Amino acid sequence: MELISGNQIAADIIAELKQEVSALSGRPPCLALVRVGDDPASVSYVKKKEKTAAEIGVTSRIILPPESISQGELEALIDELNADPDVDGILVQSPLPGELDELAIFRRVLPTKDVDGFHTLNLGKIAQEDETGFASCTPAGIMEMLARSDVDLRGKHVVVVGRSLIVGKPVALLALQKKAGANATVTICHSATADLPALTRQADVLIAAIGRAHFVTKDMVKPGAVVIDVGINRMPDASRKSGYRLVGDVEFDGVAPLTAKITPVPGGVGPMTVAMLMKNTIKAHRLSSLSG
């Protein structure tokens, strides 16, 4: 079994991006990070994104509206960022609190600044294999991670558990694309799938994006499979200062010995997501400089 280190692969990408940014003339790429309210997980995700941006030389603009912000006010804020020529990318940290309509906010972001890849147009561009779009960061990170770990998906059976717009559907579309590194046969499973273990056991590459701790157990995995664990779940742990530890959707200790390659949690897909956000921001900056 080989452990796929997202930490290492993301560090390599970040070093490459840092070089790319240092070679740019003019103002550096700028990412606006909008975090509504003080959800602790969102606070730590935004901090991590800000820190990585600084490391690469990407300017970040942090905007922290209160939880009481209305839908209209948040949309007006997005409109301002859309119109600001000094902002290349806009990320609205998910989940949004309360009654705010997240999908409407994602759609409000100009597609050319939608570095999270959540806008309808960018999701459509993945389906059309149009490289001018932005693939959402976690799915793009998974593809990059597989490519850099010498896992060629061509002809392989990829089984994705989860059909969210953020992970499951876009990663399935990317694996399906008719291009080098992809070209897989893809099955997408969800909560209404009948006999899920029978399907996951057919996977050459199993991608778990469910959001349930230790959901995938060893009886669900084919020996020799590659397993990508997207899940980030908080498990109570009194021995930790935080009171919890992060675990994936895969029951790692039981499953890992069976696999050819597997990602850990933490240190797997998570760091790749942040690296791909930076990659998208630099791409947005490049495309906006080209369009003048």
What positions carry a catalytic annotation? 49, 93, 116
Among 37, 89, 139, 270, binds ligand NDP (CB under 6 A): 270
Segment interacting with ligand NDP, rule: CB under 6 A, options 14-22, 71-79, 96-104, 210-218: 210-218
Among 36, 196, 205, 225, binds ligand NDP (CB under 6 A): 196
Among 90, 225, 230, 282, binds ligand NDP (CB under 6 A): 230
Among 37, 89, 168, 170, binds ligand NDP (CB under 6 A): 168
Q: What is the 3-state secondary structure (H, E, C) of 30-57?
A: EEEEECCCCCHHHHHHHHHHHHHHHHHC
- What is the token pair recorded at 197? 């273990």
Is residue 9 part of the contact set for ligand NDP (CB under 6 A)?
Answer: no
Residue with nearest beta carbon to ligand NDP: 164
The H or E element that residue 233 is part of is: strand 233-236
Is residue 280 part of the contact set for ligand NDP (CB under 6 A)?
Answer: no
Letter for the amino acid at 73? E
Q: Per CB under 6 A, which of residues 100..139 are in contact with ligand NDP? A: 138
Among 164, 183, 185, 202, binds ligand NDP (CB under 6 A): 164
Pick the closest to residue 252 from 270, 229, 236 (CA basis): 229
Q: List, in sequence order, every residue forming a beta bridge with 247; answer none if it has no partner.
A: 233
Pick the closest to residue 32 from 103, 100, 85, 71 (CA basis): 85
The separation between CA 261 and the C-alpha centre of its own chain, rounded to angstroms, equals 20
Helices and strands, number each (H, E), in the chain: 10, 11
Calpha distance 129→263 (Å, rounded): 27
Q: Per CB under 6 A, which of residues 133..152 are in contact with ligand NDP? A: 138
Positions in the binding site for ligand NDP (CB under 6 A): 138, 161-164, 166-168, 189-193, 196, 209-212, 230-233, 269-270, 273
